[in-house]
Structures are given as structure tokens and as C-alpha cells.
Structure 1
């Protein structure tokens, strides 16, 4: 039977969370909103519209949402040619692929952004498919993106492992019935990831790769 290794991208495979924080902070500032950077950091991983609702409240004037999202996208795009992948991110994906896992990305990133991220990670030969928030009705923390990835891989939840760095990742995967692994490299504390559903937590892709033989991946039989 197939096995699926599902990966978030921002903050998990690529060291981009704080770039997003800066871009959102400036986009919000330009629209007249003073939002602390730590609050924005905690919201990274949500789709843009949900992120704005989380930060500014749902009961508000939404007329500036498209402009703020466009400002974020424009500001973030200035980093596209130098987005940094985490050490061993590509090796981790290739190791799993060579072991027979279907490797899928589960992300809120849009097309141009995802293209730049995949170029930074440089492991397209190991990636089977990609599920984005644009493919489903609701993004993380709803389980829809994870369930869509499972459908693409044709794998039941019990034969999949999800790796992410945010509380939203943990909740989405747990709600989809998938085993969840958390990484600390996105900046979210271990306790928060565990409380949201992580059964194991590692520092970063290199740490997970080094401990792969004893990780939740080892508990899914080939």
C-alpha cells in the first residue's frame, strides 16, 4: 500500500516565516493598522483572508482586504530570488521518496510564491504533488487541504504523516486523522505544537532526518 509524507512549506521546509511577518506588518501599516509582529507571527500559516480575520476581527470593514493582500504579495515577492530553504530539507524529501513514500506539499502559498519556494527547496524530483488552499473550500486549520492531499496520494489517513511548524498545521492534520509531527524552526514553542496535536517535535528538517528511523514515519509499515 502507498504511504504519504505531507509537508507544510513556509517555516517547515523554507525559512520564510519572518519574511511573511515583515511583509504583512508593512501591508497592515500601509492600511492604517498597528498590529504587533508577534501577533502576525502566530497567524502565519493561515490563508490571507483568514489571517486578516484572525488579526483584525471578522466584524470589520473588509473593503481593504484585497489591497492588503496584494501589498503583502508584492512585498514578499521581492525575496523570491533568495528564499532560504532549511538545511537538509531537500535531503529529507528525497530520503522519504526513495523509501517509497509519496511526498506532497500542503500549503497556503499561491502559484508564483509556490514556484519560488520549490525552486529554493530544489527537490522537485522527490515531490509527487501539491495541495493548496486554493484547491479547497477552507484552508488550515480546517482539515480540507490535508484531506485533499490524501485524495491526491490515494492514501488513507492512517498511512500518512504530516510535518508542519504552526498550530494551524497541527490542527488541520489532526482533524484529518493524520499523525502529526511538529518542527520548531518556524518559531512556535514545543508546548503549543504538542497541545495542538503533534505526537513528536523536532528542531528542523535536519533533526527529523537524523532521527527518521525512530520517528512516527517508522511506525507506518511499507
Structure 2
């Protein structure tokens, strides 16, 4: 873990998590779903998944617009994502982390590039939905990441001030959204991500395993 913020000088009461690449390892399922959607809507030829993956953290329709691909790809992509959801695992250490944070009195929410219904369905199927106060999708805010709206909504719903929260994400998009909301931005690099790119964005901390988050958070007096 590397740090650039004096964590001992602040009281963090809440954590906002990104979903893909932070809580769940959805890379392979996304690749399969994107490949099927591309073949159905665009046709023959290799699906540009590597380019798609560089835009992780953004809402799917926004990625299609950036890549110049048809918005019609969303329907088969979502269909295949639901069909293959049983293949998506939690990252090792996530359940233990969530349990420890709950025990410390830390409030938790998810702010994801996925739609809200799809994110809640996935977390429910994995048995961890109840750890989170709120699970917010990009379809549930006016401006998805990298705008700060989704993080601000999470803070508002939890009743937490920006200075009392941090966000954990695996993309520059997440860090930008966190910073725009006035929240400490923490980079998670335990998935297959470009650590140098995230480091260049100046996160307040870089974590290489979920358990490292515990060093940044207090045990709150919940009495």
C-alpha cells in the first residue's frame, strides 16, 4: 500500500466502492458479453474489447458513444451479462473486508458503471448485497462517472459529508468522480489494471489487496 494522505488526521465513516474490478472479477464475463453483442449488432470481425476495457467505470451507452459503436449493442450485452452472471466471482478477501468494515461501524455503498438493477442482482446472487446501504447504478443519476453525481448521491443517501468518506475504484474515471465529489480517492490494483496509469492520476492511496483498506479506516464508536 502507498499513501499520500495523512489518514490519521481524518475520521472516515463511509466507503463508496466501485463494483467491477474492485468487488467482483467480471473481466471474462464482460469480454464474452461484449464479443456476443458485437457479433450480433456489428457483424464479423474481432470485437475491440481491449479498447472497451480502457473505458471501464463509465456507463455502457457512454462507452459506445466514445467508441463510435451502435447503442443497440446494449441489449445483447446486458442479456449476456445476466446469463453469465453466475460465472462472476468476488475477489479473494472481499467478504472478509466487508464483514470487518461492518464490524467497525463503517457505512458502505456501491457506485457503479453498471445499471442499478444489474448491480443489485449480481451482488444479491453473490450473497453480499446486504453489506451495502445503497447500490447505485449509472442509470440512476443524471450524469454518470467521471461526473461526481453518483458519489454525491451515495453520500447524501448515507448522510455522510465528503470529508468523512473515501471511494475505492480501479479506473481513472472512478478517481475523477471521487475527487469531483470532494471524497478521498483510493486506487485498487488487485485486478488486471494499469497501475502506472492510476498512479499518474494521483490517488490518495494505492491498495494491492482488499485487506489493505483496513489500515485507512478507524473502528468507530457506534454506541
TM-score of the aligned structures, taking structure 1 as reference length: 0.84
Match status 1:214 vs 2:215: yes
The 2-side partners of 1:131 and 1:208 are apart by 21
Shift of 1:8: 0.8
Corresponding position of 1:99: 104
Q: How does 1:82-161 map to 2 (within 5 A)?
A: 82-161=87-166
Shift of 1:35: 4.7
Q: Number of aligned pairs?
A: 209
Give 3-state SS (helix, strand or coil) of 1:103's partner. strand
Q: Please say if residues 84 and 120 of structure 1, whose CA atoms lie closer than 8 Å, have aligned partners that are also in contact.
A: no
Residues 148 and 128 (structure 1), Cα distance of their counterparts in 2 relative to 1, 3 Å cut = same
Instruction: Flag structure 2 segments of 5+ consecutive residues without an equivalent.
Output: 1-10
Question: 2:29 is matched with which residue: 19, 29, 40?
Answer: 19
If each structure's helix is expressed as a fraction of its own residues, which one has the higher value? 1
Residues 208 and 115 (structure 1), Cα distance of their counterparts in 2 relative to 1, 3 Å cut = closer
The 1-side partners of 2:36 and 2:190 are apart by 23
Give 3-state SS (helix, strand or coil) of 1:43's partner. coil
Shift of 1:158: 0.7
Shift of 1:101: 0.9
The 2-side partners of 1:94 and 1:166 are apart by 24
Instruction: Flag structure 1 segments of 5+ consecutive residues without an equivalent.
Output: 58-63
1:161-202 deviations in Å (ceiling 9; x for gaps):
111111211111111111111112332211211223422222
Greater than 6 Å deviation, 4+ residue runs? none
1:2-23 deviations in Å (ceiling 9; x for gaps):
8111101111100003321331
Corresponding position of 1:40: 52
The 2-side partners of 1:2 and 1:196 are apart by 22
Shift of 1:112: 4.4
The 2-side partners of 1:197 and 1:176 are apart by 16
1:13-70 deviations in Å (ceiling 9; x for gaps):
000033213312331233227552211111222111101012117xxxxxx41x2100
TM-score of the aligned structures, taking structure 2 as reference length: 0.83
Q: Please say if residues 136 and 144 of structure 1, whose CA atoms lie closer than 8 Å, have aligned partners that are also in contact.
A: yes
Shift of 1:105: 0.9
The 2-side partners of 1:172 and 1:54 are apart by 18
